[in-house]
Amino acid sequence: MISNDNVLEVQDLKTHFYTSRGVVKAVDGVSFALKRGEALGLVGESGCGKSITCFSLIRLVPRPAGRIVGGKVLLEGEDLLTKNEKEMTKIRGKRITMILQDPMMSLNPVFTIGEQITETIRVHQKLGKMEIWEKVKEMLRLVRIPSPEVRMREYPHQMSGGMRQRISGAIALSCQPSVLIADEATTALDVTIQAQFLSLFKEIQEQANLSMIVVTHDFGIVARACDRVAVMYAGKIVENAETRELFNNPAHPYTIALLNSLPKMEMKVDTLYSIEGQPPELHALPPGCSFAPRCSHVMEICQREYPPQKEVAPGHFARCWLKG
Amino acid sequence: MANYILKRLWQALICLIGISVIIFFLSHLSGDPVLLMASPEATQEDIEELRRTLGLDKPLYVQYWVFISGVVQGDFGQSIKWSKPCIDVWLSRFPNTLLLGSAAMAFSLIVGILTGVLSAVKVGGWFDKFGKIFALMGQSLPVFWVGLMLILIFSVNLGWLPTSGHGSWKHLIMPAFTLGWYFTAATTRLSRSAMLDVLDSEYIKMARVKGLPEYLVIMKHAFRNALIPIITLAALNLIMLLNGTVITEVVFNWEGIGRLVVDAIFARDYPLVQCCVLIASMLFIATNLFVDILYAYIDPRIHYH
C-alpha cells in the first residue's frame, strides 16, 4: 500500500569527486521522493551515478576524493546531510539500509552468519541475548533460509550465492528500516535465483510496507518490482514516472532509446538497436543537455542550456527541451 | 584435525631425521676437532688415543648411529669446549634468549601492528608518513649501528641504562628495542598492506552500511581478516628470535643462543653445533605446525584433512 507521505525526499543532491583530472560531478542535482511502501527503480547505464547517489543517501561516499557538496536528504523529515558521523551510525542499518551488489563478497568470511545478523541488531536495539537469537531465527525464516538454527552457525562460504544474498537481505531487514536500497542486488545472481529473490523481496516489501530504492540497469526488474522509475543520465535524473506510464509513454529521448535497445521476442531483426556514441565524461560535461551529443532530436538550445524539469503528464516528469 | 596433526608430526619426524643427517655430515666437514683439542706437545699416540676415546676413529655411519641414538634418549653428547653435556650448555643460555626474544617479539607485535593498522586507517595522513619512515629506518639501519648509537646516547652520554650484560629490566631495554625495531619494520609494513587490502573489500562496506561503529569495523571486521599474513610473519620472526640473534647479543654482550652457536662453530665444537641446530629445527617445525593449526581457528574457510 503506497501512502501519500514521503519517507524519503532528496532535494538537489550533489556529490562530486575531486580527482587529478578535475571535478567529477557524479551526482549533479538529483531530486526525487519516495513514498511509504513504494518501490522506486533507479535506472541508467554504468557510471551514470546511480550507486553514488545511493551511497550519498547513507553518507558513505568513498573518501577522501568524494564529497557531498550540496542538497538535502530528508529521511522522515530529518536532513541526513546535517548529521554528524556518530548520529549517522545510529541511522545507518536501522532506518535506512542497503543490500550490496555482490553477495559473494559482501559477507565477512570469518564470522558466522548468525553473528553477522546479531551484531546489527545488537548495535541498534537494546535486546537480551535470547531475544536477539529469536529475532535472528525469525529473520532467516523470513528470507526462507531452511533450518535457521543450523544455518546461523555456518559461515558464508558454506552457502550458495542466492542464499548469501537472502542473508544480506535478512541483515538489512533485521532492524525494520524505513528505506531499503538494493544496489544491483540481483545482478550477480543466476536468472532463476534472481526471479526467486525478486518475488521474495516484493512479498516482504508489500507485507512490511517497506520503501525501496532498486538500483538496476535491467528494465525487466523494473517492470516486475518497481512502482515508479527514475532514469539517470550523467549524474542527473532525466525522467521520473510511474512504471506503467514510463513504459507506455516515455518522454525523454534517452528513455525512449533505452527502451528501444531492449530486444523484443516478437520481432526478428538483424542488428540490435544501440544508442550511438559514449556516455559523456563526468569531469568534462558538455554545456547544456548532457545527452545532446547522442540525441537524434537535438536542437540548438539543447547545446546551450540544461532543460528544466517539466511535468509532461500528472506525476510524470522529464527534463527535455522537446517537452516545452 | 587430529588426523592432520598426526600426519604433520610424522612428516616432522622424517624432516628431523633428514636435518640430523645433513648437520652431522656438515659439521664433520669442518675439520679435525682432535687436533684442536689435543695439547700442543701431544704425541701422535696421544692424539690417536683421544680420537679413540671420542669415538672419532670409527666409520662415519657408525658415529652417526651413536649420535642419533643418543639424541633419541635426550643425550646430545659432550660439548668439547665446555666439557659439559651439550644440552646443559644450551639450557643455560636458552632462558636469556627466551627473555630477549619475547621482549623483542612483544615490542614488534604491539608497535608494528598498531602502527600498521593506524597507517592503513589514516592512509596518506601524517601518521602514515611517520609509519613509513619508521619502518624504512628499522629495516635499513644495521642492527649493530642502532645498538651502538643507543649505547652512545643512553649509556655513555645520558648514563640512564647499562651498556651491556644482563640482570635487571634496565639491561633488557636497549637490546630488546634494537632487535625489536628491525622486526617491527616488517610487521608494520605487512599490517598496513594487509589492512589496506581488507578495508577495500565489500564486507567492510557492508559493515559500515549496517551502522557498526568505526572501531568495530576496524578491529573486528577488518583486523580479523588481516591477521593471517601478520601471523605468518610473526611466526617466522619468532623462530629467528628464539634461535638467537648474534649481532645484538655481541653488541650488548648478551649471553644467548646465537653467540653460543657461532662460538661453537669457531671452536669446532661439533657436538654443540649439532645440538643447537637440531633444537633450532625442532622449534622451527613446532612453530610452523602451531601456526598452521592457528590458521584454521582464525579463518573458517581453512580446513585440513
CB proximity under 8 Å: A 73-102 to B: 85, 89-94, 97-98, 100-102
Residues of A in contact with B124 (CB under 8 A): 64
Query: Measured between CB atoms, which of A60, A102, A171 is closest to B208?
Result: A60
Give residue A4's pLDDT band: very low, low, confident or very high (50, 70, 90): low
To which residue does cell 571486521 refer? B221
Angle between helices B223-242 and B270-298 (to 10 degrees): 170
B206 touches chain A (CB under 8 A): yes
Nine-digit cell string for B177: 628495542
pLDDT at A237: 92
pLDDT at B151 exceeding the cut of 90: no
pLDDT at A41: 92
Query: pLDDT band at residue B223, thresholds of 50, 70 and 90?
Result: very high
Mean of the pLDDT values across residues A197-220?
A: 87
Beta-carbon separation of A108 and B206 below 8 A: yes
Where is pLDDT greater, at A201 or A16? A16
pLDDT band, residue A73 (cuts 50/70/90):
very high
Q: Give the per-residue pLDDT at A287.
A: 83
Query: Cβ contacts (< 8 Å) between A57 and chain B: which residues?
Result: none
* Beta carbons of B209 and A58 less than 8 Å apart: yes
**Mean pLDDT lowest among A52-56, A101-105, B162-166, B252-256:** B162-166
Higher pLDDT, A67 or B79: A67
Give the C-alpha separation, B150 to B181, whole Å.
12
pLDDT digits (tens, 9 = 90+) for A161-180: 888 888 998 899 888 899 99
What is the band of B30 on the pLDDT scale with cuts at 50, 70, 90? Answer: low
Q: Does B207 touch chain A (CB under 8 A)?
A: yes
What residue ranges define each of the domains in chain B, with the CATH number in brackets?
93-267 (1.10.3720.10)
**What is the least distance, in Å, from the CA of A34 to any CA of chain B?**
20
Q: Residue B92 has what pLDDT?
A: 87
Instruction: Show residues of chain A in contact with B208, CB under 8 Å.
Output: 60, 92
Out of B207, B211, B301, whose CB is closest to A157? B301
Question: Which domains are assigned to chain A?
Answer: 6-95+175-323 (3.40.50.300), 96-174 (no CATH)
pLDDT at position B113: 93
pTM: 0.80
Summary mean pLDDT of chain B: 85
> Does residue A76 register a pLDDT over 70?
yes
- What are the tens digits of pLDDT across the range B283-303? 888 888 888 888 888 888 887
What is the mean predicted confidence (pLDDT) over A123-148? 89
* Shortest Cα distance, chain A CAs vs residue B292, angstroms: 16
* Residue A231: per-residue pLDDT: 93
Q: Where are the alpha helices (H) located in A2-125, listed in sequence order?
A: 50-57, 85-91, 103-106, 113-124
Identify residue B272 by its one-letter amino acid code.
Answer: L
Which of chain B's residues have a Cβ under 8 Å away from the Cβ of A90?
A: 211
pLDDT at A324: 64
- Residue in chain B lying closest to A180 (CA): B209
Distance between CA B98 and CA B1 in Å, rounded?
30
Mean pLDDT of B206-233: 90
A93 with B301: Cβ contact below 8 A: no
Phi, psi angle pair for A39, to nearest 5°: -115, 120
Mean pLDDT over A136-163 rounds to 88
Report the C-alpha gap between B83 and B78 in whole angstroms: 6
Q: Compute the average pLDDT of residues A54-61.
A: 92
User: In terms of residues, how long is chain B?
Assistant: 305
Chain B residues inside the 8 Å CB shell of A103: none
Task: Summarize the confidence of residues A231-258 as an average pLDDT.
Answer: 91
The per-residue pLDDT for B269 is 81
Q: What is the pLDDT of residue B53?
A: 77
pLDDT of residue A91: 92
Q: What percent of chain A has pLDDT over 70?
A: 98
What pLDDT band is residue A190 in, cutting at 50, 70 and 90? Answer: confident
B202 interaction partners in chain A (CB closer than 8 Å): 100-102, 105-106
Q: Is A181 helix (H, G, I), strand (E, B) or coil?
A: strand
The phi, psi pair for A265, rounded to 5°, reads: -60, -40
Span A9-36, average pLDDT:
90
pLDDT bin (cut points 50, 70, 90) of residue B125 is confident
Chain B: give the shortest CA distance to residue A158, in Å.
Answer: 9
Inform me whether the pLDDT recorded for B191 exceeds 70: yes
pLDDT > 80? residue B39: no
What is the reported pLDDT for A42? 93
B219 to chain A, any CB pair closer than 8 A? The answer is: no
CA distance to partner chain B, nearest, from residue A191 (Å): 22
At A1 the pLDDT is 57
Q: Are strands A6-19 and A22-35 parallel, antiparallel or unpaired?
A: antiparallel
What was the pLDDT predicted at B82?
Answer: 80
> 10 Å Cβ neighbour count for A319?
22
Q: Could you tell me how many CB contacts below 8 A there are between chain A and chain B?
A: 79
Q: In chain B, pLDDT over 70 holds for what percent of residues? A: 98
Tell me the average pLDDT across B227-256.
Answer: 85
Half-sphere exposure of B279 (CA within 13 A, CB side): 22
pLDDT at B267: 81
